[in-house]
Homo-oligomer: A and B are copies of this chain.
Amino acid sequence: MSLTDPDRLFPAEPGLRALSRRLYDSVADLPIVSPHGHCDPRWFAENTRFPNPAELFVIPDHYVFRMLVSQGVKLTDLGVPRVDGGETEADPRKIWRLFAENFHLFRGTPSAMWLNHSFQFVFGLDKPLSAATADEYYDHIDAKLATPDFTPRALYERFNIELLATTEGALDDLKWHKEITASGWGGKVVTTYRPDAVVDPEFEGFAGNVEQLGALTGEDTASWDGYLNAHRVRRAYFKEFGGATASDHGHPTARTEDLSRDEAAALFQKALAGTCTPEEADAFRGQMLTEMARMSLDDGLTLQIHAGSRRNHHKGVFATHGRDKGFDIPGRTDYVGNLSPLLNAVGMEPNLRVLLFTLDESVYAREWAPLAGVYPCLRLGPPWWFHDSYEGIKRFREATTETAGFYNTAGFNDDTRAFCSIPARHDVARRSDCAYLAGLVATGRLGEADAFEVAQDLTVNLARDAYGLK
């Protein structure tokens, strides 16, 4: 019995399937390049065991708990922490059982595919998870986690990871990355510069954060020039002590601005004073994207724009449980008008890398591919979040390749904090891409030899290039 089909995600038609498999076999063993994600660097610094199956698979995975919530399960019954430290379910086995008895809810979802992949290939399980097998699963996984082969570093090595990027706020001291480096361990865990807390006037405690940025850098962050300098200093720090190759920006829109120095400085003072209107806050975030792109020209960091999530849609859940609790909902996002200021300012620079990520697939063929198909700085990031799936990848390739080709895309990102799902996610991407390539070959749109080359590019080369690796 097996939880996964060896030919999963390959087309049913025998010829297509055989070619998909041959393409996949040529890339299946390539190392995992993971240049953007949210794993905790502390895991690799301390290298202690993961506490239990619920804390590994359920509590931190918003894909998992949001689906359970959608059918009436309470976040507290899943052990998801409360902002006020109030009581939540403390027995991981109870949480696991609740998850197991609702596992049918995930039918047809990528979560089911990722979880089954982890169960089978990471933990050696072979029966379907259900209420009946919940305890058997729990005991099995828990016992494995207690062994040396299942520590974070052991798994990192077993997963054949070439590089794993984490994401830290601009004020982070990168303590764990320094410890990893100091430990002499061979794994490559790098950071990413994520300055939302000091770039978004609407972030909790913005002014204080900016003050702290000043303290950390010795720059006068009460002035616009000092503030920009402080960013430069932190970016250099992230490069030096965390191996950063990119910055990352999570904004509700893709808005950019290219204001005059005086306008920008005035807006910054408003932001510090907490008197920005929502419109002005958006403009300031937009100005900072262009500033960051200019800094990238100097220091070579890749600029990642993750736009379009309307975060914390339910105010009550935000009040009780805080951010990132499954209530971030995508919205319509414009790129043509919104990116215009940044692209007019620096878009023709051949050495700049600006990576786009979207939650609005309607832009793929209409805006994304035409933009990336002409601006030298742009690369299209892989399908993100709700679109990181077989159908999502299929729609992305079908809608972008004809106008942007393959070489204006940026390879795959797993973008996850669910460590055990990393091999599963890269496997889904490799299979989906190979299925797509096989279709191109079979319909005379791509030569077979070319397809094998493109498969390598999509699996490792484009990611390395997009993030300036190697």
Residue of chain B at shortest CB distance from A9: B443
Q: Any chain B CB within 8 A of the CB of A375?
A: yes
Chain B residues lying within 8 Å of A450, measured Cβ to Cβ, are 104, 107
Q: Any chain B CB within 8 A of the CB of A323?
A: no
Chain B residues lying within 8 Å of A444, measured Cβ to Cβ, are 4-5, 7-9
Of B107, B387, B447, the contact of A405 (CB 8 Å cutoff)? B107
**In the complex, A375 Cα to B336 Cα: how many Å?**
31
Q: Mark A115-128, 1 if CB is under 8 A from B, else 0.
A: 00000000000001
Chain B residues lying within 8 Å of A359, measured Cβ to Cβ, are 366
Q: Mark A433-470, 1 if CB is under 8 A from B, else 0.
A: 00000011011111100100010000000000000000
Of B5, B348, B372, the contact of A316 (CB 8 Å cutoff)? B348
**In the complex, A339 Cα to B336 Cα: how many Å?**
23
**In the complex, A365 Cα to B389 Cα: how many Å?**
12
Q: Any chain B CB within 8 A of the CB of A406?
A: yes
Of B10, B13, B366, the contact of A361 (CB 8 Å cutoff)? B366
**In the complex, A126 Cα to B392 Cα: how many Å?**
37
Contact, CB under 8 Å: A331 / B405: no
Q: Any chain B CB within 8 A of the CB of A340?
A: yes
Q: Which residue of A329, A334, A378 has the most chain B CB atoms within 10 A of its CB atom?
A: A329
Q: How far is the CB of A111 from chain B (nearest CB, A)?
A: 9
Contact, CB under 8 Å: B331 / A336: yes
Known contacts A330-B367, A348-B316, A391-B398: does B407 contact A12 (CB below 8 Å)? no
Q: How far is the CB of A21 from chain B (nearest CB, A)?
A: 12
With an 8 Å Cβ cutoff, the count of chain A residues facing the other chain is: 91
**In the complex, A446 Cα to B105 Cα: how many Å?**
12
Of B16, B334, B369, B447, the contact of A128 (CB 8 Å cutoff)? B447
Q: Any chain B CB within 8 A of the CB of A313?
A: yes
Contact, CB under 8 Å: A405 / B106: yes
Q: Mark A364-394, 1 if CB is under 8 A from B, else 0.
A: 0111011111111010000000110111100
Contact, CB under 8 Å: A347 / B314: yes
Chain B residues lying within 8 Å of A408, measured Cβ to Cβ, are 70-71
Within 8 A of B (CB), among A46-78: 66-67, 69-72
Contact, CB under 8 Å: A391 / B399: yes
Given contacts A106-B405, A330-B336, 10 further A-B contacts (CB under 8 A): A5-B444, A8-B445, A69-B376, A70-B374, A110-B402, A310-B336, A329-B336, A329-B374, A332-B334, A361-B366
Of B8, B350, B402, the contact of A389 (CB 8 Å cutoff)? B402
Of B70, B110, B344, the contact of A372 (CB 8 Å cutoff)? B70
Residue of chain B at shortest CB distance from A330: B366
Contact, CB under 8 Å: B332 / A390: no
Q: How far is the CB of A407 from chain B (nearest CB, A)?
A: 5
Q: Any chain B CB within 8 A of the CB of A113?
A: yes
Q: Which residue of A104, A366, A373 has the most chain B CB atoms within 10 A of its CB atom?
A: A366
Residue of chain B at shortest CB distance from A350: B72
Q: Any chain B CB within 8 A of the CB of A79?
A: no
Contact, CB under 8 Å: A443 / B12: yes
A-B pairs with lowest CB-CB distance, top 5: A8-B444, A5-B444, A72-B350, A12-B442, A66-B374
